[in-house]
Structure 1
Amino acid sequence: MKNCRKIISAALAVALAVVFTAGCGKTSSAPAKKSGKGAAKKVTFCLDWTPNTNHTGIYVAKKLGYYKDAGIDVKIVQPPEDGAATMCASGKAQFAVEAQDTMAAALDSDAPLGISAVAAIIQHNTSGIMSRKGDGIDRPKGLSGKTYSTWESPIELAMIRNVVNGDGGNYKSIKKIPNNITDEPAALKAKQTDAIWVFQGWGGINAKVENVPVDFWRFADINKVMDYYTPVIIANNDFLKKDPETAKAFLKATQKGYEYAIKHPDEAAKILIAGDDTGSLKGSEKLVTESQEWMAKQYAKDADYWGQIDPKRWNAFYKWLYQNKLSKTDLTGKGYNTKYLSK
């Protein structure tokens, strides 16, 4: 199965940097307007990838009428080639799915994109390195001398270097090959690569479903500063300012959708599968169901409520980027807004 977001992270970072240096930080966003008296306000929500269990709460809120009850008509769309953040910043979508690491490129510019993270979809960074079981890559230094599939993202590679060298390994000895993998367990089994970056709730669960024995370790368990927010829901800044009540209503209904998914993962999985109009989940019902069971425990783990963003943890990662020369500017305090969602 596709690796929800990371497959396109490097391309997205490049696209954002190129597209928005020409002043595209300005948006054409306008408040979602009523089409008539008593009519629902129209909101466009852009996914970051084809539907998966990161998105379940959105589909639940739509199917169970939470958005309708809030006076909102939500349209869920796929991202354009230049990414969901681009679509959101342009005003063609009021909300979208992104991640704190790939957002850095959008914010670290003379003309930063007008977007802000307004809710954390899950509370912890569950991504890490997956490898064939018994190959000795059950800890970071084990990557030394092995083949790793990379998106060639500066942040991605800096994180790999940090944990490998910090564990006594040799980052320079890693053989890096392009990552064009869509089914991570199958690629490992076929020995197309030795190691690949996956999200535990999808790639990790898929290894179990496909019965491929693997080793896996999380970045957040190795270096706490890497426990950044991924994925998040972002919003267009102009929209937030011009129509805060709709923004709050949308996020409250979305929160309700994820709370349902936490309490009723099996039912939520069925709603996601039924709501997928891309056909990408066809034949993957077992993966979706088992992923949803796992994700239900992650959405609000260690948080006071679903969607909570801890400024200290957000800022710690961006400070680390700046200190390691992965951003030109100190992004501390930038890129998030906690005013629109509460318990």
Structure 2
Amino acid sequence: MSNRWLSKGAALALAAAMWMGWLCAPAFAAPAPVKVTFVQEWRVADGFWIPWTLGISKGFYRDEGIDLNVVAPPTVADTMKFLGTSRADVAFTTVMDIIFAKEQGAPVISIGRYGTGNNWGIFTPEGQPVTLAQLKGKRIGIYNDAWTKAQLSLMLKSAGMTLDDIQMVAAADDTVPLLLQKRVDATTGITNAEGTEIAVAGKQTPEFMPATRHGVPDTPIFMFAGNQRWLEKNPQLAKAFMRATARSLRYAIEHPDEATAAFAAKYSKSYDENFVKRQWRDTMQVLGAPGDEQLKQNDKAWRDVLDAATSLGMVKSILPVEEYYTNAYLAQGQ
């Protein structure tokens, strides 16, 4: 046999051995996803969590290299404590909680909005619309927090009244039973929480007076926020979190039945199916259309709410608006 064929045979044998070795060799392991702790605004699950609950089940966060750890705070006051002390990396919180935390020097900043405007206002029973003037002397259900009283104060001011002109009835957890049991004449809340509950539990479509038509800033209530130290150390991870969240929002809006099913599967003991479906439908009305502008914040919305907070004495002083929010972690175009 010629050396030529010997060489060819040896080469083929070597190639075969290498191929078999490649087949038998262990595959390179993909990098393990990085844990990101995401603290929520409320101590129990609610329909606002539907996008990231769905996103986790669909693998959207894993696709970005994130193992998302959703944490419910012991109390609503703990959300910003967790974020400010690095017990959480990111948070789902409220605009006022961010403002109050910044006043205390906490290293937190808003990195995206959840909703395009303010959907807070006053509810009355179906078929019983009222004007602000007609609320004089009436009983109004409220939550005993500063921002509820501030918004109500601004609304009444637009009609030449003050909080002293009404009877405030505070509820510890839920104002809706006060209205349904006729213990108050009207109640405060948002369309995708109290409004949803009145519709489902009360089997009625309540009358709604939007606060934004009566002197209250049209600033989104809910925000995504980040610990600034974590953001500075992990800018790419923060962008990945926001990409996955934007993807989750889009998918949840485009596939509402699948979205609510994912939430029900995870938190079936929290709410009944009818409530979850209605709440997500109501929430979609607030979120706006998926796209470049959905999560993007702007100076005006923040200046308006900061001006309102200072005019009512809720904060002693304010920082430059860029200290409260950034769009730096949104996808290009947002």
Q: Classify the TM-score, shorter chain.
A: 0.7 to 0.9
Report SS of the residue matched to 2:285. Answer: coil
Structure 1 residue 275 and structure 2 residue 266: aligned? Answer: yes
1:21 paired residue number? none
Instruction: Render the CA deviation track for 1:136-182: whole Å, top value 9, x for unaligned.
Output: 5x333332101123333333223212211312445312112221243
Structure 2 unmatched ranges of 5 or more: 1-28
Preserved contact between residue 141 and residue 178 of structure 2 (Cα < 8 Å): no
Aligned position for 2:186: 195
Q: Tell me the distance in 2 between the aligned counterparts of 1:134 and 1:229.
A: 28
TM-score by length of 2: 0.83
CA distance in 2, matches of 1:126, 1:113: 27
Task: Specify the alignment match of 1:18 in structure 2.
Answer: none
Distance 2:289 2:320 in 1: 24
Q: Please tell me the residue identity of whatever aligns with 1:128.
A: G
Matches of 1:331 and 1:316, distance apart in 2? 13
Residues 22-44 of structure 1, C-alpha deviation per residue, up to 9 Å, x if partnerless? Answer: xxxxxxxxxxxxxx971110011
Q: How many residues are treated as equivalent by the alignment?
A: 300
Distance 2:247 2:181 in 1: 42
1:48 aligns with 2:48: no
Check 1:42–1:325 CA distance in 2 against 1; reply closer, same or farther (3 A cut).
same
1:103 — aligned with what?
Answer: 98
Q: Does 1:311 align with 2:299?
A: yes
What stretches of structure 1 of length at least 5 have no aligned partner?
1-35
Structure number with larger C-alpha Rg = 2
Alignment of 1:162 onto 2:154: yes
Matches within 5 A, 1:84-233: 84-109=79-104, 112-133=105-126, 138-169=130-161, 171-182=163-174, 184=176, 186-210=177-201, 211-212=203-204, 214-223=206-215, 225-233=216-224
Q: RMSD over aligned Cα, in angstroms?
A: 2.2
| Aligned residues with identical type, % of pairs | 22
Higher percent of residues as helix: 2
Residues in 2 aligned to 1:152 and 1:182: alpha-carbon distance in whole angstroms: 11
Distance 1:308 1:53 in 2: 22
Q: Deviations over 1:1-23 (max 9, x none)?
A: xxxxxxxxxxxxxxxxxxxxxxx
The runs of at least 4 aligned residues of structure 1 exceeding 6 Å deviation read none
Cα distance between partner residues in 2 of 1:303 and 1:332: 28
What is the Cα deviation at residue 273 of structure 1?
A: 1.4
* 2:55 aligned residue: 61
Q: Whole-Å Cα distance in 2 between the matches of residues 332 and 218 of structure 1?
A: 29
- What residue in structure 1 maps to residue 254 of structure 2? 263
Q: 1:232 offset after TM fit, Å?
A: 0.7
C-alpha separation in 1, matches of 2:189 and 2:30: 47
Does the CA contact (< 8 Å) of 2:158 and 2:214 recur in 1? no
**Equivalence map 1:214-253=2 (5 Å):** 214-223=206-215, 225-253=216-244
Shift of 1:129: 1.2
Equivalent of 2:32, from 31, 35, 39?
Answer: 39
Task: Kindly state the Cα deviation for residue 271 of structure 1 after the two structures are TM-superposed.
Answer: 1.1
Q: Secondary structure at the match of 1:43?
A: strand
Deviation at 1:116, TM superposition (A): 0.8
Q: Which residue of 1 aligns with 2:318?
A: 330
